[in-house]
Structures are given as C-alpha cells and as structure tokens.
Amino acid sequence: MKTIAQQLNITEFPFIIKDKNGNKIYSEDSCGYWYKREFDKNKNEIYFENSNGYWIKREHDENNNQIYFEDLYGIIKDDRPKLIQEYTMEELTKIVGKEFKLVK
C-alpha cells in the first residue's frame, strides 16, 4: 500500500499535514516512515499510529487530564470515573426478589 506522499508524488520531505487548529496530524519522511495523530477539541492527542504498527488511544477529562490510555501491547490505564447506578428501595426489592433492610 502506498503512503500518502507516494500517492501524491511528493518529493520534498518531511511531508506534513496539519488540521485547521495547526495540529500536526500526519508526517512522513523520505524513507516512507509515517505517523498520524488525532486530537480532541482541546488539542489533546487522543490517537497515535505509525508505520511500524504501533498505536495509542487516549481520553481526557474536562480539565485535560489523561483518564484513559491503551496501546498496541495491551497496556491499559483506565482512570475514567465509574458510574454508580442509583436505585430506589422499591427497585432494589424487585431486583432482589424479596424485602430487605440496608445495614451499615
């Protein structure tokens, strides 16, 4: 499969593509090595992939803190907030199937 630069017959390197926010989203050198990146609305890198097959996925919270990381090697760091389901006593009674009492 041809790289983007090869498809466009680019001869000057490095070949770089930026998004509308000025983020470098693709870069390629004369040897055919390339990488691509994606960013969220706050300019946090959320995806990276290169021609060697390496990739990373990330998520960030509203304060731009990384809360999720996953890569090709199966490394996962998940600090995303866990949603705790809330139930009424009536709903819990239906789930459990009989009356119960909460104790501390």
Tens digits of residue pLDDT in 43-52? 999 999 999 9
pLDDT > 90: percent of the chain:
79
Q: Is the pLDDT of residue 86 over 90?
A: no
Instruction: Determine, yes or no, domain membership for 101.
Output: no
51 to each of 35, 47, 58, 90, 98, how far by Cα in Å? 6, 14, 19, 56, 58
Q: Which domain holds residue 37?
A: 4-96
Identify the band that residue 99 occupies on the pLDDT scale cut at 50, 70 and 90: confident
* Mean confidence (pLDDT) of the chain: 94
Mean pLDDT of 88-101: 88
At residue 57, what are phi and psi to the nearest 5 degrees?
-120, 140
What is the tally of structural domains in the chain?
1
Give domain status of residue 40, yes or no.
Answer: yes
Q: Is residue 37 part of a domain?
A: yes
Assess if residue 103 is contained within a domain.
no
pLDDT at 13: 97
